[in-house]
């Protein structure tokens, strides 16, 4: 007797607000701590460093959020434009669209009676027909994004990431830079770990890679600040 074990496949889905949150958070940590490191290397006072960090936080939140919004809106506008065109062609040029379906599946290896059955099955349901054209002909892999939600998520995540290295500067402590450094490291490791939701890579490798990138950015700005003194 053969035992059949259940088979499960875990597929990675790239996109959505989680992706915006991860990359917004990562950019917030890296860019803000890089500014803090540069100001520290230049011998700036705590108040000045805090001001620079907050300016980076605000500017980055607006820049990243608006950039994400505009990019998502362009993507959505393109999707909706193509969707409208496909609906028009299905209504007024149905034979042309049917032939396109036939060509698509013929290229996948379907032939003869089987090909005609597949075409008939698809065009019998306008919703499936439209979805097939959007995916197979035009290459849209998913529904259009939500520009406002993506933009807000990106901005919010950037702010949270920026606060990791910034928060210590609201308090007075002789070790403030090292506390900020420690929080920045934790933030980068966390962001690197979350990236594996999209890449499927080893969580430790991804976390250390993200940390290395942040360290290079911080070291570079620290050296620039130190040279300016």
In a 13 Å sphere around the CA of 194, the CA atoms on its Cβ side amount to: 17
Which one, of 118, 94, 93, 121, lies nearest residue 104 by Cα? 118
pLDDT of 216 higher than 80: yes
User: For the chain, what are the domain ranges?
Assistant: 16-228
Convert the pLDDT of each residue in 102-132 to its tens digit.
Answer: 888 898 888 888 988 988 998 888 888 888 8
Burial classification of residue 11, based on how many CB atoms lie within 10 Å of its CB (0-12 exposed, 13-18 middle, 19 or more buried) = exposed
d(CA 136, CA 147): 24
Residue 207, Cβ neighbours under 10 Å: how many?
Answer: 20
Who has greater pLDDT, 53 or 132? 53
CA distance 188 to 27: 9
Rounded CA separation 116/128 (Å): 16
**Gyration radius of the chain over CA positions:** 25
Cα–Cα distance, 126 to 60 (Å, whole number): 44
pTM: 0.79
- Across 1-15, 143-157, 161-175, least confident range: 1-15
Q: Is the pLDDT of residue 3 over 90?
A: no
Interval 187-216 mean pLDDT: 84
| pLDDT at 72 > cutoff 80 | yes
Q: How far is CA 116 from the centre of its chain?
A: 40
| Segments in 93-202 forming alpha helices (H) | 94-107, 112-123, 126-132, 147-166, 176-199
Nearest-angstrom CA–CA distance, 224 and 176? 20
Q: How far apart are the first and last CA of the chain?
A: 79
CB 181 within 8 A of CB 192: no
Q: Maximum CA pair distance of the chain?
A: 80
Question: How high is the pLDDT of residue 13?
Answer: 47
């Amino acid at each position: 007797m053969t035992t059949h074990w259940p088979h499960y496949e875990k597929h990675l889905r790239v996109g959505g607000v989680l992706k915006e949150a991860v990359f917004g958070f990562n950019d917030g940590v890296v860019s803000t701590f890089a500014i803090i490191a540069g100001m520290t290397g230049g011998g700036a006072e705590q108040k000045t460093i805090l001001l620079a960090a907050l300016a980076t936080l605000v500017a980055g939140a607006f820049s990243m959020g608006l950039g994400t919004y505009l990019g998502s809106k362009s993507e959505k506008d393109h999707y909706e434009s193509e969707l409208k065109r496909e609906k028009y062609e299905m209504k007024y040029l149905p034979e042309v669209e049917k032939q396109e379906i036939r060509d698509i599946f013929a290229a996948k290896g379907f032939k003869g009676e089987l090909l005609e059955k597949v075409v008939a099955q698809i065009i019998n349901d306008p919703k499936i027909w439209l979805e097939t054209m959007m995916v197979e002909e035009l290459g849209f892999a998913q529904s259009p994004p939500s520009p406002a939600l993506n933009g807000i998520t990106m901005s919010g995540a950037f702010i949270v990431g920026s606060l990791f290295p910034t928060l210590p500067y609201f308090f007075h402590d002789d070790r403030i830079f090292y506390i900020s450094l420690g929080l920045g490291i934790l933030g980068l490791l966390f962001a690197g770990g979350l990236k594996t939701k999209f890449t499927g890579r080893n969580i430790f490798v991804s976390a250390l890679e993200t940390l290395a990138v942040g360290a290079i950015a911080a070291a570079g700005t620290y050296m620039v600040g130190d040279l300016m003194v």
